[in-house]
Amino acid sequence: MADEQPWKAPSQAHLWRPYAQMQLLPPPVKAVRTEGSRIHLDDGRVLVDGIASWWTAAHGYNHPHILAAMHKQLDTMPHIMFGGLTHDPAIILSEKLVKIAPRGLNRVFFTDSGSVSVEVAMKMALQYWQNVGQPNKNKFICFRGSYHGDTFGAMAVSDPEDSMHKAFKSTVSHQFVLDIPSSEYSFAEFEDTLQAIAKNVAGIIVEPLVQAAEGMRFYSADTLEAIHRVAKANNILFIADEIATGFGRTGSLFACNEAGITPDIMCLGKALTGGCITLAATMTTEAIFEAFLADTQEKAFMHGPTYMANPLACSAAIASLELFQQEDRIAQAEAIETQLREDLFPLRFTEGVRDVRVKGAIGVVELDAETIDKVWFNQRFVELGVWIRPIKNVLYLMPALTISKDELSLLTNAIKQVVAEWLSGKA
C-alpha cells in the first residue's frame, strides 16, 4: 500500500515537500552528512553534488572557515533583533558587501531569504517614486522566462504563462512582461515599448546573464548593458536579481560586472553565506536611500523581517566573503568552465540533444523534448552516484566552485551516460 501511496511513506508522513506532486513523488533519499562536494546517505552511498544545494554551497559543504565563524558566534549571540539594536556581524558584513559590489551600491538592507529580498527591492522602488512625487510610476517590467521567487510580489514579476506560478496568474498584480531583446530589430522594438510605458514604470527587474529556473538560458553582457542603458534613459529603476548569479557563478564575482553596470538595486542570497544558513540582502545606491529621509516617519521604509541581519548568518557570510578574498574562486570557476566545455560539448553532435551551453561554472545539456520523466532521471543519477536534478528538459550542473576535477568528471560522465540511455529508450 505504501508503494501505491508514496506520500504516506514513513519519511513523508508529515512533510510537504517543495515543487512536487506529493501523490506521485517517490520517497526521497536521506542525507546524513556532507563534506566538500559530497552528500553521504543513510544507507552508506555517497553522491557527488552537481548543483551545490540549489546553487548555495559555493565553497563546498562544511568549509572549516565558515563553520569556525559560526561556532564562535553561536557561543556569544546567535540572534538579536535588529530594530533599535545593532551588532558587529551586520556592520562588518555591510562594509564588506559595499567594497565588493558594483561601484555605487552603498546601502544594505538584510532579509532572511532571496524571495524576500526581491519583495524588498520592489517595495523600495515603488516607495521611492512615491517619496519623490511620482506615485503613477507603480508598475514593473520583467521578462518572459524569468523567475524571482515564490512570494506574491516575486511571482508577479516572474513569467506568468510558462512558470511554476501560472496557477496564480489571475491573482498576482499585473506587470509588463517583455521578451529579452535578441536582435537589432527586437531591441528597437524594446526601446520603443519602454518609451511608451515609462511614465507608469517604477522599475525593470532582470536576472543578469542567466535565467536560471527557465532552464539556464543565457544572454550576452552586451544585451544586459543595453537593457540597463535604455532603462536609465527612460528614468526607470534597474533592479538586478543576482541571487543565483552572484558570487562567482558566471565567471565574475557579480554578473553585472561583466556588463560594466551598476544597478539601482541589487538582490543577493543563496551563496551569500556559502550555503550554510539562510540570509539575503537588498543593496541600493545612496540616491535611493536618500529619498526615504525626512523629518517625519511618513517617508520611512516600513519593512523589517524578524530575523533580519541574524548575527549567526552574518558571521557565516563574513567568513564566506573572506574565502573569496583568500582563495581564488574566480580562477576555479574558469577551470570548471574549461572542463565543462571539454566534457559536455561533444554532446552537441548527438541526435536528441537540442543544445549544450556553458557559462562560468554552469553547464547545460538541453534535450530535444518538451517534457522528460524527471523522476526517472533523478533516480538514475542517484544510482550512478551523483546528485543532479533536471529543470524542464534541461540537465544542468552548478557545482561548488571548489569541486575537484575528478568529481566534476563523475558528474559529466553521468550526464553522458544517462543521455545515452534516454536516447536508447531506457527511460
| Residues annotated as catalytic (active site), given as ranges | 19, 147, 241, 270
Residue labelled with grid coordinates 545593532: 86
Burial string for 120-129 (b: 16+ CB within 10 Å, else e) reads: bbbebbbbbb
List Cα–Cα distances, 288 to 100, 118, 126, 201, in angstroms.
Answer: 19, 16, 11, 16
Q: What sign does the dihedral 321-114-215-27 (CA atoms) show?
A: positive
User: What residues contact 139, with CB distance under 8 A and at least 6 apart?
Assistant: 174, 175, 176, 197, 200, 201, 202
The DSSP annotation for 160-176 comes to: SSSSTTGGGTTTSPP-E
The DSSP annotation for 297-344 comes to: GGGS-----TTTT-HHHHHHHHHHHHHHHHS-HHHHHHHHHHHHHHHH
Do residues 299 and 65 lie in contact, with contact meaning Cβ atoms separated by under 8 Å? no
Report phi then psi at 413, rounded to 5: -65, -35
Residue 204 belongs to what H/E stretch?
Answer: strand 201-206
d(CA 182, CA 220): 9
List Cα–Cα distances, 295 to 290, 291, 298, 300, in angstroms.
Answer: 12, 12, 9, 10
- Closest C-alpha among 143, 31, 77 to residue 310: 77
d(CA 258, CA 249): 12
Residue 100: count of CB within 10 angstroms of its CB: 15
Residue 301: count of CB within 10 angstroms of its CB: 16
